[in-house]
Structure 1
Amino acid sequence: MFSRTTRASALLSASAALCLLAACEVVSSDKSKRDTTTVAPTAGAVPSTDSSARGGVPAAPSDSLANTVARDSGVVTLSAEQPVRGGVLFALAEGLAPDIPRCSWKGAPLPCYRAAKGVLAIVPLPADEPAGTFTLTFDRPTGRVTRQITVADHDFGRELVFLDSAHYALVKRSADVARDARALRAVLAGESDTRFWSGSWGAPVKGAHGGGYGAERFYYRAVDSSRAIRLGPELKTRGTFGLDTVVAASRDVPSWRHAGVDLPASRGTSVVAPAAGLVADVGDYILTGHTVIIDHGQGVHSAYFHLDTALVQRGDRVAAGQRIGRVGATGLATGPHLHYGIYVHGKDVDPAAWAAMPAFARDQADAGKSNK
């Protein structure tokens, strides 16, 4: 969705506003960080596996457990020492080889997966969650590998969008928008053990560059453009574009945080899959228009909104670079463009940050098994 930008304290006259896109925040690191700090195991953390143990002396652990413990180095490689809100953190716990990996973030379970060199966790840092210092953990038979991660803040900007009467009528259909959002959330919550992709991700539209991830967007009628509108700090966005399940009061200003990037392109331009995956949804929704969602496995999805035409069907396997649709202006779009989104474990991240994933995350072979 193209829009015009303002800051929270500014008085904006729409007649003077230009259609701007907020810059993408790219989270990447040229050098990975390693840490061997772990939490010491409690007494008896490795119980006896031999019922013949006597006199309170535990028998030696089985060969399989002994091998696992021997490989538990506790070394964690991070994609960034201080990731940025809106980005994504890749973390590889090297040497861990549990049958079922168990990880947590902020004290809550985080899906993670066995990889060729250990256990890989991908932590989404969506724009609607706060900055701060949080705990990432990897469980292992001998204790717990722990890292304290500081997520830096970022200002994503605020934007005014003026709509003609037909488009404004769409944003006021709150109950229908909420129904669509529930359906889309259910698709994006999917978590499969299989990883369908490998290597670097390509661009969905050749040569297109855009932005707008994380921006707060407030929608008004075109007739309101003749008056000054103040976006004060008391004015908050309701939720995420396309995924807001709350039925708003009729007097509320329609507003959502933009959870992807807008890639300008002419109508009919080819849209391709940036990586291999399975088509999880093809639908027509009020705000997102003709929509395709691809499941890339292990909790990673990509989304394509406002398509003119979808060229795939639900359940199709797609290869990297395969055409999946054509650019359009369906749904809440004031001109032809592609809204491109990346979701990790159901949460949006900046596609530019995702594309900057480190080699250790790109090249990990799928070993299956997760803690989900």
Structure 2
Amino acid sequence: MDFGFSDVQVQVQTLARKILDDKVSPATLARYDEYQQERFDRDLWRTLLGAGLPGVAIAERHGGMGLGFTELGLFIEELGRSLAPVPVLTHCVAAMLPLQQFAPAALQERVLPAAARGDVLLTGAFWWGQPGVPDDPVDATLEAGGLRLRGCCEGVPFALQADKVLLAARHADGTAIVLLDTAAEGVGMSPMQVTHFEPHYRVELQDVLVPAADIVCHEGGEALLDWTRERCIAALCAQQLGAADYAMRMAASYTSEREQFGVPIATFQAVGHRMADCYIDVECLRLCAYQAISMLNEGGDATTEVQIAKIWAGDVGHRVSYACQHVHGGTGIDRDYPLWRYCLWLRYNEMTLGNSSAHSADLGSRLAAGQALFN
């Protein structure tokens, strides 16, 4: 039995890599450092949209490729390799996928084709948090014309650039999910700075009316939250895999060329062992990430697989970033050399995914209770 990727999946990954290799380089990324410019390459975004890649997991009737989450994961892994300044995780994973899964047909038909074409940019305001609980529950009041929102959402990626934000709102009857128009009256944005320079914002809502046509669900939104968060975590693990793999290969290339005492430092046993450990780490993360992505692609219960991938993604990002900087010596922290950006992203993703020890303890408790056994 062949457990490798299919020809179509390899073609998606190859296409993504070719575009990103052509369009993204240390020189193009340097202009976004320290918030010199908005970290959003709109020309690259249009190129990716033209190739159909952001719509890879969207049904053909909505203008997508009609493939699945595995193909989207391969695309996102390539984004991690390049650190491309585009909103794929927010637009595709945190917004388009849950809309396709949960939104009423009329809302899907109105928004998804435009989003797949790039006429509308989407983002999601709920990535992390406890199962079934909104990160920043916005207060909502039921009205005849829709829902009236008050409150704020912290750290929403690409909120200012987006046309619409998918967010959770809590009211007397439960948790609703709405598609907020960022140009609506009463919506405010405050910029937030993060270590990898991606644009994040605090979205402030003052008596904002969301019409009934833009309500994904009036109650029971917890199911959408859990469904979306698992896919956001798995996608972030794929991005972490791409970044860790590229950093490791950069370090392996450097140690093969850098000489000391007349020989490449890669021949030193200590250096060779560190690079071997990095390779094992990256391949273990690859296995865990794609196990989770595959299970999610099939629509099965992947809670355990996603949790294992999350643990590995955090630990591998930590170990690989340190090891790669170590074998580079002072070059590893030189901002004229590209490794530092990968280390920033690896550590940022590690912090975003949360404490691996706590996740391991939770997994152990679930296993002891018989709740995390593989089918």
Name the structure where helix makes up a greater proportion of residues: 2
Is this a same-fold pair by TM over 0.5? Answer: no
Larger-gyration structure (1/2) = 1
TM-score by length of 2: 0.25
TM-score by length of 1: 0.26
| Bigger share in strand | 1
